Amino acid sequence: MRLFILPILVCSCFALAPHAQDVPAPPAGFKFDFGTGEAVPGWTKVAPDTSYSDERGYGFEPGSVPSGIDRGGDPLTGDFITGATPFSFSVKVSEGNWLVRITLGDALGESLTTIKSETRRLMLQRLATKAGEFKVATFVCNVHNSRMTPPLPANAPGGSEVRLTNLDPNRLNWDDKLTIEFLNDRPCICAIEIVKADNLPTVFLAGDSTVTDQPREPGASWGQMLPAFFKPDIAVANYAASGQTLKSFITDLRLDKLLSQMKPGDWLLLQFGHNDEKRNWPQT
């Protein structure tokens, strides 16, 4: 197995540290107030039964069964959404990096929250609050779709869309939504703010099953865990997929799509070799 690290033009410094809780509030963008109580003026109210639709542009994904609790008092933190099983919330957004701020806590009880995005990409693990304590979790999520944007790169293999396979589970990494999953003993979600953050340096990942966002517990890859180790001023864009070789990554247009999203100051990490060495796969 071989790991190659390629800086693109300007090399930005990585900031390895736990997620900062004192990041300044982002400017106006998407603002969602969760729960069954009164909505905060200027915020979009999200009740437990708000299911996602393209027309609405936000809501809970199928299979999510959250419940709402209203403690009264402050309209933003007095009510919240929780769930005994994992639940996912999606917002229809454009491609790029998005800064996400999530207010967590319960006025009368403890909470324990782990947050993942897209296909189980770890963002924050086991954030606990005491009764009456509220915290803000801040992270950056990269969203990309499978469409190639003209003009296509010179000498591209051909095609207008990344060739996805059944090894791209649920295709959550390739749609037009930012999907956030909440899990652990008792996640208590009061509010979510989302704002575009395309100026941030991005670490792009290319590789196979050892890098891709694995869809099922307890499977995971190093690429899937990487976002949890950065402050919210670095984005991770995972383009890897199970079964990929260096050749198929190119012919499936994954590399062309990845390069079309890069800018000066970004990084590209490539890991191939695991599938390339298989003698029974001569076509790859």
Q: How far apart are CA 163 and CA 248, in angstroms?
A: 10
Tell me if 266 is assigned to some domain. Answer: yes
Q: How many domains does the chain have?
A: 1
Tell me if 31 is assigned to some domain. Answer: yes
Q: Is the peptide bond before 48 cis (omega within 30 degrees of 0)?
A: no
Find, among 110, 118, 88, the residue nearest to 192 by Cα. Answer: 88
Which residue's entry shows tokens 């609405």? 56
Tell me if 277 is assigned to some domain. Answer: no
- Along the 284 residues of the chain, how does pLDDT read in single tens digits? 445 444 433 333 334 433 434 444 444 479 999 999 988 999 999 999 999 999 999 999 999 999 999 999 999 999 999 999 999 999 999 999 999 999 999 999 999 999 999 999 999 999 999 999 999 999 999 999 999 877 766 666 677 889 887 766 557 889 999 999 999 999 999 999 999 999 999 999 999 888 999 888 888 889 999 999 999 999 999 999 888 888 889 888 999 999 999 999 999 999 987 766 667 766 66
Three-state SS for 78? coil
Tell me if 171 is assigned to some domain. Answer: yes
Question: pLDDT tens digits for 236-267?
Answer: 999 998 888 888 898 889 999 999 999 999 99
Q: How far apart are CA 273 and CA 120, in angstroms?
A: 24
Length of the chain: 284
Beta strands 30-34 and 189-196, pairing class: antiparallel
Please state, as a whole number, how many other Cβ atoms lie within 10 Å of the Cβ of residue 129. Answer: 18
Tell me if 284 is assigned to some domain. Answer: no
**DSSP per residue over 119-175, as a string?**
TTEEEEEEEEE-TT-EEEEEEEEEE--SBPPSSPPTT--S-SB----TTSGGGGGGS
Q: How far apart are CA 182 and CA 113, in angstroms?
A: 7
Tell me if 261 is assigned to some domain. Answer: yes
Expressed as residue numbers, the domain containing 194 is 2-272
Q: How far apart are CA 96 and CA 92, in angstroms?
A: 12
What predicted TM-score, i.e. pTM, was given to this entire model?
0.85
Q: How far apart are CA 113 and CA 128, in angstroms?
A: 6
Tell me if 111 is assigned to some domain. Answer: yes
Which residue's entry shows tokens 């070799």? 273
Domain containing residue 260: CATH number? 2.60.120.430
Tell me if 207 is assigned to some domain. Answer: yes
Q: How far apart are CA 44 and CA 67, in angstroms?
A: 17
